[in-house]
Structure 1
Amino acid sequence: MINMVNCVHKFGGSSLSSSERYQSVAKIIIGHTQTGDCVVVSAAGKTTDTLVSLWQSYQQQDTQAVADILLQLNNHQSDLIEQLLEADLKRSALKTLSIELSYIAELAQAEQLKEAALLAHGELWSARLLATYLQQLNIEACAQDARTLFILNDGELMHAQNAQQCGQLILPNKINVVTGFIAADIKGETVTLGRNGSDYSATLLANYCNAKQVCIWTDTQGVYSTDPRKVQKAIKYGKICRGQANLLARLGNPVLHAKTLSPLKNTDIKLAVRSSFDVQASPTDIVKEGSAKKKRFITTLQNVDLLMVEGLSEGEVASVSQLIQHSLHHFNHNGEVYLVVPAAQTYLVINYFAGRANISESNLNGCAIVAPEQDVNTLSLQALDLLKLHSIKPRFVHQDTGYALLLTDQFIDSDIQS
């Protein structure tokens, strides 16, 4: 199969949080893309959170709050348009925005608002504004609504049909600015791809377009041994293998999500994580298993529950992960099967298993050590000694191939991690 697209780039909300950030992203696109490439975008800044607040106010029938939040959205989007666009492009963008916000207000009044369709506006606004700004800079660009590219039937992506759609709609003579996070069902209704859905949109698109690589531009410089915002001595890695990246994702590491990595399985598509705030910084490449030495990581866990599940199958883990939009980690310990679940989702997960799941331990914090197999035992013992030194008693300890879980009552803060 020919490579239709060289690279799919993805920019998150923090990379598009102001007009200056849009300008920086445009510079990155000019320097790092070629015609036919795709740029997947999230909603600008905190737009999704604002739209979620709007939906909540609508559900509570708080008409005043709905009106206030619509005004807030209008001000934010209008400011971006005013600061980035000129003349006819600006007038046209402001007019379109005004029509859309009026329509949302009408739907709210008629009690016909739908959650996914409402949330989709964040990405639509980002894609349209970035594409128009690039056109203003004389770059051949177009905005693409992913609801025409990603179709789901009964919650499952229709891969063959979607690849065909992408083949027809992704334009080889333009930079294609594509909405992240959103898709459509077979009836044409909007659906969302869940938490961190835009990263997933980027890797799906790369798979469907047979791209050579995916570049996720974010607010950190790559993947570190631990959270660099909390631990000064965190080490940045140039390469990590997909297996460790997957394990970290399942254990809640926020840089990459397991769902993001799944479309790359059994492909040669390269994945890089880079900083949109420091373009000169080298990326972290996520490479095929065996192409990089295994590294050492500490990732913290906050407010999780440990569930014991009878007769758990791999397929069920995937289904329940999809249900709660969070990749879950499961393991065997003393003959029992356990699931690590974010506490906020426990109720849903227990319901899903209909009497087969029980809470073994609740309200846990702690950390996971991910490391080469031969180092796990030593690092785990060192970590336990350190916790003892800080009078932190583990409630549950599990050691496995390539990782150890140390679950405690207290949150493990940065001075202990370092």
Structure 2
Amino acid sequence: MRIFKFGGASVKDAAGIKNVYDVLQKVGYEDVLFVVSAMGKTTNALEVVVKDYFEKSASLQSSIQEVKKYHNQILLDLFEDEKSPVFKAVNDLFSELDYFLNHNKSPNYNFVYDQIVSFGELVSTTILSHYMTYRGIKTNWIDVRNYIKTDATYRDAEVDWDATQKCIAKNIKRKVLNITQGFLGADENGFTTTLGREGSDYTAAIFAYCLNAESVTIWKDVPGVMNADPRYFENASLLNQISYREAIELAFYGASVIHPKTLQPLQKKEIPLYVKSFIEPLLPGTSVSKGADLEPHLPCFIVKKNQLLMSLSSIDFSFIMEENISEIFALLHQFKIKVSLIQNSAISFSVCIEDKFGNFNDLKTMLSKKFKVAYNENVSLYTIRHFNDKAAQMVEENKVVLLKQVSRETMQIVTKESID
């Protein structure tokens, strides 16, 4: 089987969904399993619903209505007959969402987040499945929560691989276009979990691994994997081939095209990953597979914005030793703070971090009991794989460099914008 993943940008409106149909006509759809994200910016819109729900905001109903209105317009643009069963199917899903909001008793933010935000993928796949059927392609709509089993770490769930393997291998139909949701799973109690933002790529890899798939293709609005994000760097170039090892390195440092968890299951079974354009689907795109590390061999630029650079020093000027570092990392783990870079000297320890869950102030309070804590907010971390002097100069231009770290293949620079 081939696994296709279509992200939110590819199904953001009726034209996008029609284009997905056209892509399938060009590349074939037999023995294909489709993993689909929420439409457009629906996840963001549902995050507003979560926020309004917890704040008991008067705007809760209007934020829900925005999500419903957006999807209803897509339905009206796609289906001529308003008596089509897709209208009832989507309405039933939104009724489930309303029921949850009116009856939930859990105060757990992360649990509630997963139950609400998951409706984005459930609705998008329902619409896509009905549209394919409407256009003459027989589909098998799958509720991914019956297949991907996880623990109960809401918003960042760990996959139970044994249970997931059994569910997928036993129940997936072949010789038909299967359509399922990215990003979602379910815990042992049947509650919805999510695999972390951008987890739809990971979903595709999970299915590929469990089905021994021929390949995974991620369809995007770019020609493939570029050596830099075109939003931040001019003259970004297409990479034709990347080895698994190099792609894992790029993902580790934060390259946004491929989810960090996606590559490991594919590498284990040497399943090639293709990143292709849904605008020009017959172009070769980028292949992530066995072979050359990087072709062409160019510096690769990765930038992470909105980072925190924290520096710790001992209060009594004693050395920061292994036991101190162990304690620091235990707290970082406890507060779910992602570490992007570390650097230490005899009496100081610097770490560039990402405060995804808003726990930095609590961490700082704990650390202040034993260390002097200094920090810079809203810094940027630039990583250059296969760097050269020209690449470094380009990154450093018009910026204040707060920290620089260099290894054989990789340079990392923490910067803030210079104030003229």
TM-score by length of 1: 0.83
State how far apart, in whole Å, the 2-side matches of 1:189 and 1:106 are.
Answer: 15
Q: SS where residue 15 of structure 2 aligns?
A: helix
2:215 paired with 1:213: yes
2:385 paired with 1:370: yes
Q: SS where residue 59 of structure 2 aligns?
A: helix
State how far apart, in whole Å, the 1-side matches of 2:165 and 2:73 are.
Answer: 37
Q: Contact between 2:6 and 2:35, CA under 8 Å: does it hold in 1? A: yes
Structure 1's 59 and 385: CA in aligned 2 closer, same or farther, altered over 3 A? closer
State how far apart, in whole Å, the 2-side matches of 1:182 and 1:167 are.
Answer: 18
Q: SS where residue 417 of structure 2 aligns?
A: coil
Q: What amino acid sits opposite 2:211 in the alignment?
A: C
Q: Contact between 1:15 and 1:276, CA under 8 Å: does it hold in 2? A: yes
Q: Contact between 2:398 and 2:418, CA under 8 Å: does it hold in 1? A: no
2:175 paired with 1:173: yes
1:115 corresponds, among 113, 116, 140, to 113
In the TM superposition, residue 282 of structure 1 has moved relative to its aligned partner by: 2.8
State how far apart, in whole Å, the 2-side matches of 1:334 and 1:12 are.
Answer: 43
Q: SS where residue 164 of structure 1 aligns?
A: helix
In the TM superposition, residue 92 of structure 1 has moved relative to its aligned partner by: 1.7
Q: Contact between 1:308 and 1:357, CA under 8 Å: does it hold in 2? A: no
Q: SS where residue 40 of structure 1 aligns?
A: strand
In the alignment, which residue of structure 2 is the partner of 1:402?
Answer: 409
State how far apart, in whole Å, the 2-side matches of 1:275 and 1:322 are.
Answer: 38
Structure 1's 91 and 358: CA in aligned 2 closer, same or farther, altered over 3 A? farther
State how far apart, in whole Å, the 2-side matches of 1:73 and 1:147 are.
Answer: 22
In the TM superposition, residue 75 of structure 1 has moved relative to its aligned partner by: 1.7
Between 227-236 and 268-277, the greater mean CA deviation after superposition: 227-236
In the alignment, which residue of structure 1 is the partner of 2:109?
Answer: none
In the alignment, which residue of structure 1 is the partner of 2:13?
Answer: 18
Q: What amino acid sits opposite 1:242 in the alignment?
A: Y
State how far apart, in whole Å, the 2-side matches of 1:346 and 1:172 are.
Answer: 44
Structure 1's 321 and 137: CA in aligned 2 closer, same or farther, altered over 3 A? farther
User: Which structure carries more helix by proportion?
Assistant: 1
2:33 paired with 1:38: yes
Structure 1's 210 and 387: CA in aligned 2 closer, same or farther, altered over 3 A? closer
In the alignment, which residue of structure 2 is the partner of 1:198?
Answer: 200
State how far apart, in whole Å, the 2-side matches of 1:353 and 1:258 are.
Answer: 30
In the alignment, which residue of structure 2 is the partner of 1:416?
Answer: none
Structure 1's 83 and 385: CA in aligned 2 closer, same or farther, altered over 3 A? closer
State how far apart, in whole Å, the 1-side matches of 2:199 and 2:335 are.
Answer: 12
Q: What amino acid sits opposite 2:308 in the alignment?
A: D
2:133 corresponds, among 115, 132, 135, to 135
Structure 1's 65 and 386: CA in aligned 2 closer, same or farther, altered over 3 A? closer
Structure 1's 194 and 136: CA in aligned 2 closer, same or farther, altered over 3 A? same
In the TM superposition, residue 66 of structure 1 has moved relative to its aligned partner by: 2.1
Between 147-156 and 165-174, the greater mean CA deviation after superposition: 147-156
Q: Unaligned regions of 5+ residues in structure 1, if any? A: 413-418
Q: What amino acid sits opposite 1:169 in the alignment?
A: N
1:150 corresponds, among 136, 148, 151, to 148
In the alignment, which residue of structure 2 is the partner of 1:415?
Answer: none
State how far apart, in whole Å, the 2-side matches of 1:42 and 1:227 are.
Answer: 21
Q: Unaligned regions of 5+ residues in structure 2, if any? A: 107-111, 313-321
2:250 paired with 1:248: yes
2:267 corresponds, among 265, 272, 289, to 265
Structure 1's 396 and 162: CA in aligned 2 closer, same or farther, altered over 3 A? same
Q: Contact between 1:333 and 1:398, CA under 8 Å: does it hold in 2? A: no
1:338-364 Cα offsets, whole Å, 9 max, x none, are 653225557359749975998665332
In the alignment, which residue of structure 1 is the partner of 2:352?
Answer: 340
In the TM superposition, residue 53 of structure 1 has moved relative to its aligned partner by: 0.9
In the alignment, which residue of structure 2 is the partner of 1:296?
Answer: 299
1:82-121 equivalences under 5 Å are 82-87=76-81, 90-112=83-105, 114-121=112-119
2:403 paired with 1:392: no
Q: What amino acid sits opposite 1:187 in the alignment?
A: N
1:23-65 Cα offsets, whole Å, 9 max, x none, are 1011212332442311100001111111111111111112x42
Q: What amino acid sits opposite 1:109 in the alignment?
A: N
2:281 paired with 1:305: no
TM-score by length of 2: 0.82
1:129-158 Cα offsets, whole Å, 9 max, x none, are 111111122212111111011111354321
Q: SS where residue 157 of structure 1 aligns?
A: coil
Q: Contact between 1:365 and 1:411, CA under 8 Å: does it hold in 2? A: no
In the TM superposition, residue 386 of structure 1 has moved relative to its aligned partner by: 5.2
State how far apart, in whole Å, the 2-side matches of 1:50 and 1:42 are.
Answer: 14
Structure 1's 223 and 150: CA in aligned 2 closer, same or farther, altered over 3 A? same
In the alignment, which residue of structure 1 is the partner of 2:52?
Answer: 57
In the alignment, which residue of structure 1 is the partner of 2:319?
Answer: none
Q: What amino acid sits opposite 2:376 in the alignment?
A: S
Structure 1's 74 and 285: CA in aligned 2 closer, same or farther, altered over 3 A? same
Q: What amino acid sits opposite 1:370 in the alignment?
A: R
Q: Contact between 2:398 and 2:417, CA under 8 Å: does it hold in 1? A: no
State how far apart, in whole Å, the 2-side matches of 1:66 and 1:253 are.
Answer: 35
What percent identity do the matched residue pairs reach? Answer: 22
Structure 1's 172 and 349: CA in aligned 2 closer, same or farther, altered over 3 A? farther
Q: Contact between 2:199 and 2:259, CA under 8 Å: does it hold in 1? A: no
